[in-house]
Amino acid sequence: MWWKDVIMGFVGAAAGFGLAGGIFAFILSLKVVPRLAEVTGTAAHITLYEDSLLMGGLLGNLYYLFDPAIPMGGIWTAVIGLFSGAFIGCVAIAIAEAINVIPIMFRRINLQKGLGLVILSLALGKGLGAWLQLALDWKK
C-alpha cells in the first residue's frame, strides 16, 4: 500500500505549502519588512530582508521536516532563540499597530509620556515569562 503513503505525503506537502504561503502573506500584509527597513534606516537593503525571511521560512520547514542533529550545543540554541524572539516580537508589535491597539490604549488611559518604557516593559515581561517557562520547566 505504498500509494497511500505517496498520497498522504502529497496532501501533507500541499497543506504545508498552503499554510506557509498564508503565513508569509499575513506577515507581508502587516508590512513588517518595510517597517523594519524604515525604522533601521536600511531601506536600500529591503530585498535582503525579504530574501532572509523567505530563506528562514524554508530552512525552518526543512529543519522540522527532517529534524537533523546540529552539534553546536547551547550557543546555537541561544542564537536561534534570540532571532526567533526578535521575529516574534516584531510580528506581535506589527499586529498591535495594524489594529491600532497601542494608540487607542494610550489615549484611553491618557498616557502622554513613557511610550518607550511601556513597550520595553512589555518586551521584558514576555522575555522573562519565556525564560521562566524554559528554565523552570513550567508547563501549561
For 75-127, how does the pLDDT look when each residue is reduced to its tens digit (9 = 90+)? 887 888 888 888 777 777 777 766 676 677 777 777 777 777 877 887 788 78
Which residues, 6 or more positions from 27, have their beta carbon under 8 angstroms from its beta carbon?
33, 53, 91
Confidence at residue 139, expressed as pLDDT on a 0 to 100 scale: 62
Q: What is the pTM of this model?
A: 0.49
Q: pLDDT tens across 30-54, in order?
A: 777 787 788 778 888 888 887 887 7
Please state, as a whole number, how many other Cβ atoms lie within 10 Å of the Cβ of residue 16: 13
DSSP sequence for 87-105: HHHHHHHHHHHHTTHHHHH
